[in-house]
């Protein structure tokens, strides 16, 4: 099968012919694979768990190649990034997202920048009828991740104020999910194009976080930090109300952020982490997309041969929606 392979950190992916993956699990013919900023982190060498050569691509949709226990050949599916073992204390406690045994698509096992992937059956979520595979693929990360961040950690009530920091792949979907939950939304992003995208997505207020006149101005009940940047986390902590929470669901190679400890103590702020989503949340996120509650933006599509160019444009900040590869 054709695949785009990360052979050496910091270098373009190489188009190669690889054997179709064998072993346990279900073989899926990839119909769409989204490009995520995390792929850039992997290429840069910021993911120490990666074994080279490696096939990236963790936002995947496809077709089941042969009948499995519960799915018929040809069934269109979205592929969850990982499935928990189902038996450890994390899985039993509803946190399969942090299961130590989870093998992650595009990280621990070959990902979707290839013609085929082989994954555990419980990772496969049948598509609602008529759903574009590209939309389904990007939903497995760029919708599912903010879905969990907004619903699993804090109870939002109608009229809550939600601040979304970073109006990129995760943030634009976070805004739409927050609105569907009845929240009043504020979006913050230093880039004018991203602020424009946040306005188009329906944010009530859109701000530049570098505008110092805003200090403490929005009293957000919940801040969802999607930028993964040091500045983004500082802004989220500053803008959340006393007793409020900051949920971090994005990260970058930028690494460690100093935080204002006094501000966290004096205002009793909670800082939480959120990673991907559970199987149940994946089904809910796909339903929300099918109902039009969340509309992921597919900016452009291409084949494996376009992948390096698309990655460069993402790295250069020239992409506001998702780019999708159809291998
Ligand atoms: Zn991702
Ligand atoms: Zn487990």
> Residue 185 domain-assigned?
yes
Ligand nearest to the CA of 81: 1
For residue 257, the CA-to-ligand 1 centroid distance in Å is: 21
Residue 33 belongs to domain spanning: 2-142+277-325
Residue 230: partners with Cβ closer than 8 Å, 6 or more residues away: 254, 256, 257, 258
Which ligand neighbours the alpha carbon of 101 most closely?
2
Cα–Cα distance measured from residue 77 to residue 25, given in angstroms and rounded to the nearest whole number: 14
The number of domains in the chain is 2
Residue of 227 and 214 predicted with greater confidence: 227
Expressed in angstroms and rounded, the spacing between residue 42 Cα and the centre of ligand 1 is 10
The CATH number for 199's domain is 3.40.50.720
Flag whether 116 is in a domain: yes
Residue percentage of the chain with pLDDT more than 70: 99
| Residue among 84, 79, 118, 89 at smallest CA distance from 101 | 84
One domain for residues 159 and 88: no
Residue 148 lies in a domain: no
Calculate how far, in angstroms, residue 243's C-alpha sits from the geometric centre of ligand 2: 32
Looking at residue 214, its pLDDT comes to 62
Task: Tell me the per-residue pLDDT of 117-133, one tens digit each, with 9 for 90 and over.
Answer: 999 999 999 999 999 99
Domain match, 75 and 178 both? no
Question: Is the Cβ–Cβ distance between 285 and 139 less than 8 Å?
Answer: yes
Q: In this structure, which ligand is nearest to the CA of 275?
A: 1
At 80-109, the pLDDT tens digits run 999 888 899 999 998 999 999 998 999 999
| CA 44 to ligand 1 center in whole angstroms | 15
Q: What is the pLDDT of residue 4?
A: 98
């Amino acid at each position: 099968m054709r695949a785009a392979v990360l052979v050496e950190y910091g270098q373009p992916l190489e188009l190669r012919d690889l054997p179709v993956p064998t072993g346990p699990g279900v073989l899926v013919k990839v119909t769409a694979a989204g490009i995520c900023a995390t792929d850039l982190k992997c290429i840069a060498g910021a993911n120490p768990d990666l074994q080279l050569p490696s096939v990236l691509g963790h936002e995947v949709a496809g077709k089941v190649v042969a009948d499995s226990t519960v799915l018929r050949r040809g069934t269109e599916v979205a592929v969850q990034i990982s499935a928990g073992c189902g038996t450890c204390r994390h899985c039993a406690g509803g946190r399969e997202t942090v299961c130590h045994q989870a093998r992650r698509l595009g990280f621990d096992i070959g990902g979707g920048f290839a013609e085929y992937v082989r994954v555990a059956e419980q990772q496969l979520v049948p598509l609602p009828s008529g759903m574009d595979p590209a939309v389904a693929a990007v939903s497995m990360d760029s919708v599912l991740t903010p879905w969990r961040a907004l619903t699993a950690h804090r109870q939002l009530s109608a009229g809550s104020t939600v601040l979304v920091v970073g109006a990129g792949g995760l943030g634009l979907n976070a805004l739409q999910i927050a609105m569907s939950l009845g929240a009043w939304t504020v979006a913050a992003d230093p880039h004018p194009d991203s602020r424009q995208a946040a306005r188009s997505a329906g944010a009530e207020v859109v701000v530049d976080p570098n505008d110092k006149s805003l200090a403490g101005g929005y009293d957000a009940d919940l801040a969802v930090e999607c930028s993964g940047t040091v500045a983004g986390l500082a802004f989220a902590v500053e803008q959340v109300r006393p007793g409020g929470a900051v949920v971090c669901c994005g990260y970058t190679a930028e690494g460690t952020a100093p935080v204002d400890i006094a501000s966290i103590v004096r205002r009793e702020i909670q800082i939480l982490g959120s990673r991907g989503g559970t199987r149940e949340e994946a089904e809910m996120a796909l339903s929300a997309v099918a109902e039009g509650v969340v509309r992921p933006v597919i900016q452009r599509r291409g084949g494996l041969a376009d992948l390096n160019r698309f990655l460069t444009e993402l790295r250069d900040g020239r992409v506001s929606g998702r780019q999708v590869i159809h291998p």
